[in-house]
Structure 1
Amino acid sequence: MNRVVVARPTLSGRVGLVAAAVVVLGETVWLVAALPGAAVVSDLGAVAVAAWAAVACVGASRRHPLALRRFWRLLAVTMALAAIGRVLWTVQRLDGHQLPHTPLIGGVFTAGILTGTAALLCSMAAPCSLVGQARTLLDGVIVGLALIPIGWVVVFHDVAAADLADPLRTLGLLYPMFDLMQLTILVAVAGPSRPRWRPLTVIGASLAIRATADTAYVSLIAHGSYTPGHPIDVCWPLSYLLIGAATTCPPPAGGDGGDETAESPLPPWWRVALPYLPVGGAIVAVVLARRPTGQTPHLIFLGIMALLGVLALRQGLAANENLRLVARLRRLAYSDQLTGLPNRLTFNRRLRRALRDDAPVAVLLLDLDGFKQVNDRFGHPTGDRLLASIAERMRDATGADGMIARLGGDEFAVLVHGDRPVPPERLAERLLTALEPLPGEEDLGLNPSASIGIAEYGPQHTSHTDLLRDADIAMYAAKAAGKSAYRTCTSALRESAVTRAELIADLRRAVDEGQLHLEYQPIVDLATGAVRSAEALVRWRHPRLGVLAPERFLPLAEETGLILPVDRWVIHEACRAAAAWRKRDPQVTVAVNIAAAHLRRPDLIATVTAATGGAGLPARALTLELTESALIEGSDVVLDRLRQLRELGIQIAIDDFGTGYSSLSYLHRIPATELKVDRSFVSRLGTEDARAYATVDMVNRLAAAFDLAVVAEGVETDAQHAAVTAIGCVHGQGFRYGRPVALPELLTTLTPVDVAR
């Protein structure tokens, strides 16, 4: 891997800077004191400092990253041209020309202005696009041209028209114009950049000094009061000195000038108005510069014409940029940035338009199954790449038979409109086939399927939202059917969804209105028959539907997040009940089921400690029952939370053991104290099913190896009781020992149960 080594300025570079500063300081003293030979000292000082600055810029180009080398090389050429121009100026002045404003010298200085401007447009803060660079250049030209009439009024306001016959006097205004143009470009490129690059600040000071010097020089020339060796001459070598000093600034952090993908900051208001502010002053100056004859000087007239032309070009460029921006905003507004598919807004607009036509309309709503696990396991960048790949597959599968859009997240939709050569069901089958894992994806776990809901527009629909609602209903039915499937919305599904929505709405009020209650099923000691624990089971006394079993409403509670307040209520209520039991039997404990969602919440510890502390129940008297799937999906944070509960004394039971992802590895990690053998294994005991007996026996031996207690669930017959006892299970739970009952009835069972009957 190639690596760019960025070095600091060398010792010789710092010595050169000090030497150049001494030259400028000596020249300043010489010129201010008006010592003999001031003109020669002025010329030689400027040549020496400009040449040193050129060498310093070459050295900076070698030290800085590749992206900045062109900038420093162009500045080196600029300083070299300045040195050459001053040499030619000195030679011709010593040859007898008082002020040698020759075309050759003017051409050299102009070439230096062009290379300096190009350097600014190559700096790390300059726009990257040609359009942005052209806009910045035009902004500088506008400001520079606006200076011509302003400078005319300021510089020549008291000079007779006869004194301006020499064109060099009037054309001298072009030098300050070029200076101000470059300064404007520098402000334009450096203004929005964050953080600011220090060399641009130093170079800006250099340009400001040079603009001041050129303006003062032109004014002195116009009034005939300039002589070589004037103190103003020190400003030019001072500006070259600052260019050389800029080379000692450190390179940008990161070595490349920043992240090109980062969003550019919005420019301040003054940056937008910068090229237009001097135009008003130019208009006023044109009026003031009119001669008594009513004529406008030729230079001002030409400058104004050029200014109007550049303004028109700048506005045309701005109009073109606005059109491009509008087109980009439309793409952002109506398409999904990740997949390139139409987004929800576009889909809804097309759907509403389709419903206005007298033609069949159908909607397929797709939701990826298990996509959250991909994000959790592999990270969001991998998930984004998978989404883009899936979108491409579904686009190919849909073809011209529909319009596919990404509604958001892992949800997609297909609009089928007009004459349909392919039925929606056939299109759904093609989409499911397209989502089958490619070679290698199945091994990596990157193979989410999709559940698809289909809804066709009919008389029962009053708007596009009704159609989308029905597609959503059918999609959830497909998920309930086992995922990787499709369903078409029917009146029965619609009625079921309405009932489900009403039940969810009622469930939101159930906790607050005291509609929930607990029943307790005894857990017995198989050796003695003593009831030492009970599992708290929640029931819902629905005001209209009667008592609802947990399987009727707990899945809805888990889907909607309502399981959290339900779980909190159950934990507090069960702890209060257990505290009451322990007044009769101090050894009694209570077991409570908690959902996987509660494991992921940081307030689980606070909920449990508040419940036990508020009821006066010892922590060891509470057992939290967790399913295998909830524990397997747990992160390290969840495992750490379980360890904290164990440190407090809370017991941890693995419920329905054997039905999930039973493995030795997770038994090592989870701080469990108890295994509950699933009723599906226990129900086959007492029959000729030898495998069921072997399975329960294996679980019991495994628990003993991990020092875990075992509870056999679902014991209903004497044969099953005899089997789990013979295997050696410590505790049993099931209808044989007692059905779930309310608290008063449970208190009567807190005596040994006859396990021999």
Structure 2
Amino acid sequence: MSRKDIEQAIGRSAGQVRAGRAGVLAAGTVVAVEAVWLALDLPEQALVSDLGAITVAAWAALACVGAARRHPQPLRRFWLLLAATMLLSLAGRALWTSQRLVGDELPHTLPIGLIFTASLATGTAALLCSVAAPRTPLGRARTLLDGVIVGLALIPIGWLLLFRNVALADLHEPLRYAGLLYPLFDLMQLTILVAVIGPGRPVWRPLTLLGVSLTVRAVADAMYVSLVAAGTYQVGTLIDVLWPLSYLLIGAAAQLAPPRHVHRDDEAGESPLPPRWRVALPYLPVGGAIVAALLAQQPSGHSPLPVFVALLALLAALALRQSLAANENLRLVGRLRQLAYVDQLTGLPNRLAFIRRLRTVLGGPQPVAVLLLDLDGFKQVNDRFGHSTGDTLLTGLSRRMRRAVADDGMIARIGGDEFAVLVTGRTAAPERLAERLLAALHPSAGEEVVGVHPSASIGIAEYGPQHVTYTDLLRDADIAMYAAKAAGKSAYRRCTPALRESAVSRAELIADLRRAVDEQQLLLEFQPIVDLATGTVRSAEALVRWQHPRLGTLSPARFLPLAEETGLILPIDRWVIREACRAAATWQDRIPAATVAVNIAAAHLRRPDLIATVTEATAGAGLAPRALTLELTESALIEGSDAVLDRLSQLRELGIRIAIDDFGTGYSSLSYLHRIPATELKIDRSFVARLSEDTRAYATVEMVTRLAGAYGLGVVAEGVETDRQHDAVAAIGCVQGQGYRYGRPAALAELRTVLARSGPPDVNGVAESDLTLT
């Protein structure tokens, strides 16, 4: 939409608001003039009263038609029904006026009664089409019955108050007294209005004005009934102002209502939990009706016929209301059962239904097996295409898996992208069923085009003596499923005793690892890094070990992957940095140039508190920042964001050294070498081990060394174990080396002995080393 269109739309809206206010002001002026005319007892009061009501009713009808044109389709019916109500009121009042002018003082005729009754019907229909009304036929019927019950309950009360002392024989004009039911219809409509706005939604402003209009009309009709019953009503009194005032409020609601967009919440229907007063609303007047019926009994002990008929109708309405409530409760129970046991996205049984069925069949005569299925790479689908596409794919895959299982088992969705199949009896071997499921998940042509390759890892577990409860069976299926993922995905595995034992051991190891830091079970060993030219120890890499109370000393390869998987790597890293800095501070007095290197996990690199951790560790140990080197793998650096690079730059500004560990085994991209503020490269041991027999490995190490020199980086050759490897890396030009040839990882005391033997380097040596490494 262009700026001109927007300005035109704003202008039209402002014009409509001004026109609406002008119309309300004009209609209000008519009502005010009528009120003054009647109050001053000026001539032709009855005619002025009738003309005022007709004029305001006509204006209100036009206002409602205009509101219908402004509002969207869901609200158009509401305003059109209100317009019809006003037109019927106009027609009824015009007919009333014409018959009164020809001589009938109170023309209660059948046509007039039918017209006003039709206006009540259209007004009630409008209420049931409002934005807050129930959207289901059952809900609308129940709300209508609520109003009918209140109206019927007030008939005995009205009879007791108005006609207790009037004999039925005196009611010789039934049509005249049929109009006395209008207040009851008003109260019925008010009850419906209160019911539709009661479930806790924000009240729409037109409904508020409509409620005031119904209240005014109910007061007018009630006063009219009381005066007619007493025989004192006269046309052209101030009471007559109340009817055009009620029309004015309806027209004002139509003129001042802004265009409303019906949101999903408006279309949702009823509130599932209405307030208590809303439930009790139709039953509150029933007690009063029964008491009034007893008091209205004639001396003969019989109730007046209108009261008796009203009570019968009230009982029938109550019975119908209760039947609707019972039916609604049954539907609600069915809906709750569906919500409790059916997955709403796929239509499959959910986890609760699956476990319920599994617990039922366990221990029976038939064999039981569970297949646990987890979709491979489904998170990437959500990340790449969005959750809407992911849900569509999930729905399609669930249909394919349902067809693959057929009648051989019960398939359920028990998690986001996790499914389970329960197999009982000998209908199908679990392995055959797993093969059918994998075949069903083979990508279709359309999925291949968009790059979606659905597959699954399936774990199979059969119920046996080793299972005490259903949770043991599900645990074994989960163990087998993760074994299938480890085997390359898109595969299935059966749970075996060896897999179960390995999983249990793994879980126990993770539980023990959580206590390792707090209980001081970790220790550090240091492997020297030497100057290849002089053999002097220039640095040491801190390597963490776990002194397990039951399993003995465990190498990092045994527990660090578990630590990274569970997030325990963060407290371990913090402990290693702190202890390594403390250790390095103990040798600074003898070998000031010797540094300490610490490995940092990728998870820690992404944390903003890394800088605080490092600075607190160096400051707490009294160690100069230049004496600490952080070793990071290529994969961790490549996956790092701009924030990670900024963090590394801040560390370099503090003096911390950055080493790229295992260089050559990851991406080895030149594009990130100039972005990462590294100080040295550590050539992976796999290249050094092949130097003597593989010319390509030799060329690779030589190329990396030259590349490092071009970027001003130091080079450390890892895994140097033999003299031939030492000679090769020295000949290539590597500055430093690390490996068993120079020393195995050892405790701090042993490293300090090695440092003492090395002695402090001469000034030239230090200067040369510093120039090489920075």
TM-score by length of 1: 0.92
Counterpart for residue 158 of structure 2: 151
Partner of residue 423 from structure 1, selected from 429, 433, 436 = 429
Structure 2 residue 584 is matched with structure 1 residue 578: yes
Structure-2 change in CA distance of 1:433 and 1:738 (3 Å): farther
Contact 2:108/2:179 (8 A) holds in 1 = no
Counterpart residue number, 2:464: 458
The letter of the residue matching 2:316 is G
Q: CA deviation at 1:68?
A: 1.6
Please state how far the C-alpha of 1:442 moved relative to its aligned partner. Answer: 5.7
- Per the TM alignment, residue 193 of structure 1 is displaced from its structure 2 partner at its CA by 4.9
Q: Measure the CA separation in 2 of the matches of 1:376 and 1:76.
A: 52
**Would the aligned equivalents of 1:147 and 1:278 in 2 still touch at CA under 8 Å?**
yes
Q: Is the 8 A contact 1:737 1:753 kept in 2?
A: no
Computed over aligned residues only, the root mean square deviation of the Cα atoms, in angstroms, reads 3.0
> What does 1:230-245 align with in structure 2 at a 5 Å threshold?
230-245=237-252
Identical positions, percent = 73
Report what 2:769 is aligned to: none
Residue in structure 2 matched with residue 105 of structure 1 by the alignment: 112
Which runs of no fewer than 5 residues in structure 2 stay unpaired? 766-774
Distance in 1, Cα, partners of 2:649 & 2:120 = 72
Give distance in 2, aligned partners of 1:520 and 1:489: 41
Q: CA deviation at 1:327?
A: 1.0
1:128 aligns with: 135
- 1:688 aligned residue: 694
The Cα of 1:576 is off from its aligned counterpart by 1.8
Task: Determine whether 1:141 maps to 2:141.
Answer: no
- Match in the other structure for 1:34: 41
- Asked if structure 1 preserves the Cα contact closer than 8 Å seen for 2:525 and 2:746, the reply is yes
How far did 1:133 drift? 1.8
2:371·2:430 contact (CA, 8 Å) conserved in 1?
yes
- Shift in Å, 1:76: 1.4
Q: Within 2, Cα distance between the matches of 1:193 and 1:45?
A: 38
The 3 A distance-change label for structure 1 pair 206 and 526 is farther
Offset at residue 731 of structure 1 (A): 3.9
5 Å-filtered alignment, 1:571-650, equals 571-634=577-640, 641-642=647-648, 645-646=651-652, 648-650=654-656
For residue 166 of structure 1, report the CA deviation from its aligned partner: 2.9
Shift of 1:223: 1.0
Per-residue displacement from partner, 1:338-382 (whole Å, max 9, x unpaired)? 222212211112212222321111111223334444445555444
Aligned length: 753
Segment drifting more, 205-214 vs 64-73 = 64-73
User: Structure 1 250/86 Cα, relative in aligned 2: closer, same or farther at 3 Å?
Assistant: closer
Residue 492 and residue 237 in structure 1: after superposition, are their counterparts in 2 closer, same or farther (change >3 A)?
Answer: same
Tell me which residue corresponds to 2:746.
741
* Alignment equivalent of 2:350, drawn from 343, 346, 350: 343
Shift of 1:169: 5.0
Q: For the Cα contact (< 8 Å) 2:190–2:215, is it kept in 1?
A: yes
Aligned mates of 1:156, 1:669 — CA distance in 2: 97
Q: Is the 8 A contact 2:133 2:270 kept in 1?
A: no
The answer to whether the Cα contact below 8 Å between 2:21 and 2:256 also exists between their aligned partners in 1 is: no
Match of 2:479 among 467, 473, 476: 473
The whole-number CA distance in structure 2 between the counterparts of 1:424 and 1:705 is 60
What is aligned with 2:716?
711
Which of 275, 287, 290 is residue 268 of structure 1 equivalent to?
275
Please state how far the C-alpha of 1:101 moved relative to its aligned partner: 1.1
| Contact 1:539 1:550 survives alignment (8 Å) | yes
Change over 3 Å in CA distance of 1:637–1:70 after alignment to 2: farther
By how many angstroms is 1:465 displaced? 2.1
Residues 368 and 451, structure 1, Cα contact 8 Å, conserved in 2:
yes
Contact (CA 8 Å) 1:335, 1:346: kept in 2 or not?
yes
SS of equivalent to 1:408: coil
Measure the CA separation in 1 of the matches of 2:653 and 2:319: 78
CA offsets 1:69-107 (integer angstroms, 9 cap, x no match): 221122111111111111111111111111111111111
Alpha-carbon offset, residue 493 of structure 1: 2.0
Offset at 1:746?
1.9
Q: 1:206 aligns with which of 213, 225, 235?
A: 213
Aligned to 1:561: 567
- Find the counterpart in structure 2 of residue 489 from structure 1: 495
Deviates more, 1:97-106 or 1:62-71: 62-71
Supply the AA of the counterpart residue of 1:181.
M
Paired residue for 1:119?
Answer: 126
Match of 1:20 among 13, 23, 27: 27
Q: Within 2, Cα distance between the matches of 1:216 and 1:58?
A: 31
Q: State the distance in 2 between where 1:132 and 1:666 align.
A: 65
Counterpart of 1:713 in structure 2: which amino acid? E
- Equivalents in 2 of 1:403, 1:494: separation in Å? 25
Tell me: CA distance 1:117–1:263, structure 2 relative to 1, closer, same or farther (3 Å). closer
Q: State the AA in 1 paired with 2:69.
A: R
Equivalent in 310, 314, 322 of residue 303 of structure 1: 310
Distance in 2 of aligned mates of 1:183 and 1:262: 20
Moved more, 629-638 or 265-274: 629-638
Q: CA deviation at 1:243?
A: 0.7
* 2: CA distance, partners of 1:636 / 1:442: 33
Residue of structure 1 equivalent to 2:234: 227
Equivalent residues in 2 for 1:160-239, closer than 5 Å: 161-168=168-175, 170-239=177-246
Decide whether the 8 Å contact of 2:648 with 2:677 is kept in 1: yes
3-state SS of the aligned residue for 2:155? helix
Question: Which residue number corresponds to residue 45 of structure 1?
Answer: 52
- Mapped pair 1:384 → 2:388: no
Q: 1:622 to 1:255 in 2, by over 3 A?
A: farther
Range moving further from structure 2, 39-48 or 670-679 = 670-679
Aligned partner of 1:334 among 341, 351, 362: 341
CA gap 1:84/1:277 in 2 versus in 1, 3 angstroms = same
Match of 2:523 in 1: 517
Deviates more, 1:595-604 or 1:124-133: 595-604
**Change in CA separation of 1:305 and 1:577 when aligned onto 2, cut-off 3 Å:** same
Deviations 1:148-186 (A, max 9, x none): 112222333454555434324542342112111211111
Residue-by-residue CA offset, 1:37-91 (whole Å, 9 max, x unaligned): 1111111111111111111111112222232222112211111111111111111
Tell me the TM-score normalized by structure 2: 0.90
